[in-house]
Amino acid sequence: MSYQKLKGTLDFYQQEAAKMRFIEEKAKTILNTFGFEEIITPIIEPTDVFVRSSGDSSDIVNKEMYTFNDRGNRSITLRPEGTASVVRSFLENKLYVNSPLTKLYYCGPMFRYERPQAGRYRQFMQFGIEVFGEGSAFLDADVIISAYQLLSALGIKGIQLKINTIGDFISRKDYAAKLQAYFAGKMDDFCEDCQKRLTKNPLRILDCKVDANKDIVQQAPKIKDSLSAASLSHFKKVTDILSMMQIPYQVDETLVRGLDYYTDTVFEFILAVPGELQGLAICAGGKYADLVKNFGGPDIPGIGYAFGMERIMMVMNSQSLFVDTFKKTDVVMICLDEDSKKVGLAFANHLRSENLTVEMDYKNYSLKQQFKLADRVNPRYILIIGEEERTSGIFTIKHTQKNTQEKIKKENIVTYISDKNNENS
């Protein structure tokens, strides 16, 4: 019997795995400059961690969680997102005690039972951040700027930042009531999900993938008319700072986000170029003033976002942004007999200790086959060792790009390769 990966999951191997790590490293480098530190939390959490944070009216909790009872009959969930786990850890470990501001990033797999399609998987990687301890508009803006910097550092083009405010909990309740009154009796041809949302969470009707473009939705009361003066003024400050920093954005009054914990600023970076992936959210997040408190902790606001790493990779592939990202093999050793192989293996490891990438043939392939192998690897140099080279300590080195060959003393080869590298790269 042959096995296949589960629907909605992906294998990453060789270059694709390297691309994933490349994105992760780039993200870490940028976020380190913003003063972030890493947090690693378990992939499994008590189910309640997600139910209490995402909200029992959210799609995630209602139909997307991988939940099971363990052998001790505890309800366990594979994390569908990172924020709730980080908040749980922030509280459990009392991270707020040491510093008034805590800046954390994380990277790892998330699990959602969604209908798989391009860019939507059941297991996917998120790179996310969470900041605790400050409710200022400057922090909101700086968090958004960090995501913008990351996308710029990766060279991604055609991304649009959409931003909105959904106010505080009380304003939102008021707005939800207005929407319920407005939509009542007008929803006969709306999808099944929206019918349920009308009573459970009417804001979600506004960004429903099926119904959002209907005239009735477009003409629905706007959230800004229900917001407190404080929320409106906070949002104006955030957008003013983004303008000052010349970060392009578009205010989207229908952006409400699918998780219940947000308050005030919410945002998404979406792909705006025409094609199959147009409209795909690459990164999304927002502020959550009450989540820590709702978890039973002190009154500490938080804000964060998460990138879908597969989505970044798809966009970078489509924009050919990985070219020249990967290190070429420096040397392939061609060894002409068993004794030369011994010398070759030892020398290969000497070169590796100098941080050079070296490959060799471990079998007893013919010279022709070894050259074929070298062609496939396409190294910068081919080192040839036979009886003559072995006894003289002078190796033959072939420069593959120039197609030239020289004889070099083995103790001078590292310097030779480094010099020539500089010359040709």
**Which residue in the shown chain puts its C-beta closest to ligand HAM?**
308
398 belongs to the binding site for ligand HAM (CB under 6 A) = no
Q: Does 127 bind ligand HAM (CB under 6 A)?
A: no
Handedness of CA 197, 200, 204, 206 (dihedral sign): positive
Determine, following the binding rule CB under 6 A, whether residue 304 of this chain makes contact with ligand HAM: yes
Binding range to ligand HAM, per CB under 6 A, among 113-121, 183-191, 370-378, 411-419 = 113-121
* Euclidean distance between CA atoms 81 and 54, whole angstroms: 9
Contact 105, 133 (CB under 8 A): no
Q: Choose, by CB under 6 A, the member of 121, 127, 183, 381 that binds ligand HAM.
A: 121
Q: Which of 79, 112, 197, 380 touches ligand HAM by CB under 6 A?
A: 112
314 vs 413, which CB is nearer to ligand HAM?
Answer: 314
Residue 46 makes CB contacts below 8 A (sequence gap 6+) with 74, 75, 76, 77
Q: Which is nearer to ligand HAM, 128 or 301 (CB)?
A: 128
Helices within 336-392 (DSSP H only) = 338-353, 367-377, 387-392
Q: Give the count of residues interacting with ligand HAM (CB under 6 A).
A: 25
Instruction: Decide whether 9 or 329 has the Cβ nearer to ligand HAM.
Output: 9
User: Tokens standing for 169?
Assistant: 């909990």
Strands of the 66-69 sheet, one edge to the other: 44-46, 75-78, 66-69
Closest CA to 6 of 113, 79, 110: 113
Q: Which residues contact 56 (CB under 8 A, 6 or more apart)?
A: 62
Phi, psi of 48 (to 5 degrees): -60, -30
**283 touching ligand HAM, by CB under 6 A:** yes
User: Which of 286, 301, 344, 379 is the binder for ligand HAM (CB under 6 A)?
Assistant: 286
Of 116 and 216, the one with the shorter C-beta distance to ligand HAM is 116
Please check whether residue 297 is in contact with residue 282, taking contact to mean a CB–CB distance below 8 angstroms. no
Q: Which of 45, 59, 130, 330 binds ligand HAM (CB under 6 A)?
A: 130
Q: Does 193 bind ligand HAM (CB under 6 A)?
A: no
Q: Which is nearer to ligand HAM, 108 or 174 (CB)?
A: 108
Query: Which of 124/347 has CB closer to ligand HAM?
Result: 124
Smallest gap, in angstroms, from Cβ of residue 401 to ligand HAM?
40
Does position 156 interact with ligand HAM (CB under 6 A)? The reply is no
Q: What is the DSSP letter of 63?
A: I
Q: Is 333 in the site for ligand HAM (CB under 6 A)?
A: no
Any contact of residue 281 with ligand HAM (CB under 6 A)? yes
Q: DSSP code of 205?
A: G
Minimum distance of ligand HAM from residue 151's CB (angstroms):
12
As measured in angstroms, the least distance from the Cβ of 54 to ligand HAM is 8
CB of 120 or CB of 178, closer to ligand HAM:
120
Q: SS3 helix, strand, coil % of the chain, rounded to 5?
A: 40, 20, 35
In the 8-state DSSP scheme, what is residue 107?
Answer: E
| 120 is an interface residue for ligand HAM by CB under 6 A | yes
> What are 294's two structure tokens?
């709702």
78-97 binders of ligand HAM (CB under 6 A): 81-83
Quickly list H helices, 155-294: 169-183, 192-200, 215-218, 229-244, 291-294
Q: Binding residues for ligand HAM, per CB under 6 A?
A: 81-83, 112, 114, 119-121, 124, 126, 128, 130, 281-286, 304-308, 310-311
